[in-house]
Amino acid sequence: MNSICNVCQLTCGSIYGLDGSTCLWCQRAVHKDCKEQLDENCDFGKLKKAIISPREIKVIKAQKPEKEVPNSSIVKKLAAKDVIFHPVDYKINLEDDDDSRVPIIAIVNKTSGGQVGNDILKSFYRYLNPIQVIDLIEDGLEKLKIFRQLKRCKILVGGGDGTIGSVLSYVNSEDFREGNKLKMPVGILPLGTGNDLSCCLGWGATFVSTDAMGILRSIGNNCEEILLDQWFVFPLC
């Protein structure tokens, strides 16, 4: 499908190929000849209240070896994976303190739902800041600690009942919170086999939409927050 130019409202493509550019953040498309008429200050488009902008993130510790590696011919033959690195730490300061500004953190188990989990993961990388997307298999839940410094955020979990349960348990654990009272409501993208919890909470029995933009906008605007007791919700279904 060809994109529509944000300036002249004509398509930015033809049978011969693409003709124009698209902003990675706001998704606005523009012809090469129309680009000068477009305001270059990106407003992050329809997801501006859910996205953490690059200028709001600061790296405060670069990667460095966990221990000194001796300079010997044997050590030089070691694979790169044998050297342990500290994770990179980030400091996030939201420039807009508006209460309606609520970043969305997307966590996806790409092994759930056949290839659907992997496809939806790629879509979230497209629409959100990559730091806001957590590949559960590659990154693990430890990456969530980056966002403890925020006043508020929402979590969208793509996976089955096991994945959802793991995330809920982790965000309520002392190891994660450390006394922090951050409000982190959790939404569900049902990618599992049974999806019992998703059914109980009205998210549906299965994932039927591939519209990642629509999903993220819905999570940001149209959700009711309720309290959940994990120990009692399943018997009530």
pLDDT digit string, tens, across residues 133-158: 999 999 999 889 888 888 888 999 99
Q: What is the pLDDT of residue 21?
A: 76
DSSP-derived secondary structure letter, 3: P
In whole angstroms, give the CA distance from residue 230 to residue 109.
Answer: 20
CATH among 3.30.310, 3.40.50, 2.60.120, 2.40.160 for 54-63+89-233: 3.40.50
pLDDT higher at 188 or 62 = 188
State yes or no: pLDDT of 57 exceeds 50: yes
Question: What b/e sequence results for 205-229 when a residue is b if at least 16 CB atoms lie within 10 Å of its CB, and e otherwise?
Answer: eebeeeebeebbbebbeeeeeeeee
In whole angstroms, give the CA distance from residue 48 to residue 51.
Answer: 5
> Which residues, including other chains, have CB under 8 Å from residue 127's CB and lie 6 or more apart?
27, 47, 212, 213, 216
Tokens of 79: 């694979």
% of the chain with per-residue pLDDT over 70: 76
Domain ranges of the chain: 13-43, 54-63+89-233
pLDDT higher at 194 or 13 = 194
Are 101 and 94 within 8 A, CB to CB?
yes
Q: What is the pLDDT of residue 230?
A: 62
- The stretch 56-82 carries a mean pLDDT of 53
In whole angstroms, give the CA distance from residue 40 to residue 7.
Answer: 12
Q: What is the pLDDT of residue 1?
A: 45
> Which residues, including other chains, have CB under 8 Å from residue 24's CB and lie 6 or more apart?
none
In whole angstroms, give the CA distance from residue 213 to residue 76.
Answer: 47
State yes or no: pLDDT of 86 exceeds 50: no
- The stretch 106-120 carries a mean pLDDT of 83
